[in-house]
Amino acid sequence: MSKQDGSSRQVTTGPVDDSATPILHVDMDAFFVSVELLKRPDLRGKPVLVGGTAGRGVVSAASYEARRFGVNSAMPMSLALQRCPNAIVLRGDYASYSEYSRRVMTIFEEVTPLVEKLSIDEAFLDVSGARRLHGSPAEIAWTLRQRVQHETGLTCSVGVAATKFVAKVASSRAKPDGMLVVPADRTLEFLHPLPVSALWGVGRVTEQALTRIGLRTVGDVAAMPPDALERALGPALAAKLGHLAMGVDARDVVTGREEKSIGHEVTFHYDLTDLGQLRRELLRLSDDVAVRMRRAGLVGRTVVLKLRYGDFRTVTRSRTLGEPTDVARRIYDEASAALGELAGDGARIRLIGVRAEQLRSSGSGAMLWDPDEEWREAERTIDEVTARFGRGAVRPASLVRPATDRIESTRRRDPGSDLR
């Protein structure tokens, strides 16, 4: 049985049929903030934000106390502080977050080898084969929550269901620090009253499109004739949402992920118009991408440039190479050529990013020819120097600038990049 409190939170409180619900979605509660509160217990119960404060800093995580003011992750910090002026802002300690993530994922893997890590703070588990040792899915979920809290001091929320989609929705309904089991034969009873935004793939634009044709709940989508849904959304999205609205999700828990792209991007604290400055940042980003590719043993055949203008309009340009590469100079040359097409006439640039796509193993076959042989050898030599003396020991001359000429910016891995 389950109960729903005054908010939208819904948790399982008693015996429930979990015989056909082998999929768990475990999501840590306000993970970055929770790790910080282990070091600063005096801040418990207060609105706390983790993120950057300078210029165009963004919120990486918000405590539940801060969320009551309408603050959420990825929001500009300036807006967050307008909504919650009393918020306490902490800079992120990503080394700590990675360590706690490792400890949590180890707990999961001690229960079942079928763990699909979605990000640093959430994962799917298939516990079909764990019942003999650890009990039913609901019992396993309960034990996991207890172990995580006892061994790390952190809390998590768990959804238990027959499919990945329903399990993920269930964990979000159980937050914070709760567990919700959705029996297989009550899946539609659980899903259909929910708003259409609960469906995977429904963002703001798709939600507006659904609302325009009178679809406000998951049940409304399920009842819509397929041809009418196709006319509104197109065949691919209509088919996907139609299946999800009926609780159909055939995806298995996958323990390994194939990397689809590797990228980095930077948001400037003020808009840039100087093409030379933009090219220097592009060279730095290209080097970051190439280093990660070489460490992962990958090469890529497509280079993608991403630009966001001062008016928040975002564009991308892709260029496909004759042969795949892991060389920063080649990545930079292609991205720089695309930049020349998009950033002329004093365009104001807020963000620039570069990523490599169509990845494959660098050892998956000899190239017909290697146009970057000399650059490749030089960059691998730099990798060796870096391994001994750290990043920055050797760098392109164009990136060595006096402090007065440095651009203030917030750099991060491309959120579309799969290799984290």
Contact 59, 47 (CB under 8 A): no
Tabulate helix, strand, coil % of the chain (nearest 5). 45, 25, 35
What residues have CB less than 8 Å from 236, skipping those under 6 apart? Answer: none
DSSP string, 193-226: TSBGGGSTT--HHHHHHHHHTT--BHHHHHHS-H
Residue 61 one-letter amino acid: A
Closest by CA to 34, choosing from 116, 79, 93, is 93
Contact 73, 31 (CB under 8 A): no
CA dist 286 → 145, 280, 328, 375, 405 (Å): 41, 10, 5, 13, 20
Burial of 252 (0-12, 13-18, 19+ CB in 10 A): exposed
Angstrom distance (rounded) from CA 102 to CA 296 = 19
121 is in an annotated binding site: yes
Scanning the structure block, which residue is given the tokens 């799917």?
Answer: 124
Contact 30, 122 (CB under 8 A): no
Angstrom distance (rounded) from CA 303 to CA 359 = 10
CA dist 418 → 126, 157, 282 (Å): 22, 24, 20
Burial of 407 (0-12, 13-18, 19+ CB in 10 A): middle
What residues have CB less than 8 Å from 196, skipping those under 6 apart? Answer: 202, 207, 210, 211, 215, 216, 217, 218, 220, 221
Structure letter (DSSP) for residue 365: S
Closest by CA to 265, choosing from 323, 182, 350, is 350
What residues have CB less than 8 Å from 171, skipping those under 6 apart? Answer: 25, 26, 27, 122, 157, 158, 159, 180
Q: Which pair of structure tokens corresponds to residue 162?
A: 């027959």
Is residue 122 flagged as an active site residue?
Answer: yes
Identified catalytic residue from 122, 281, 334, 379: 122
Give me the active site residues, please: 122
Q: Which residues are annotated as a binding site?
A: 27, 121
Q: Which residues are annotated as a binding site for Mg(2+)?
A: 27, 121
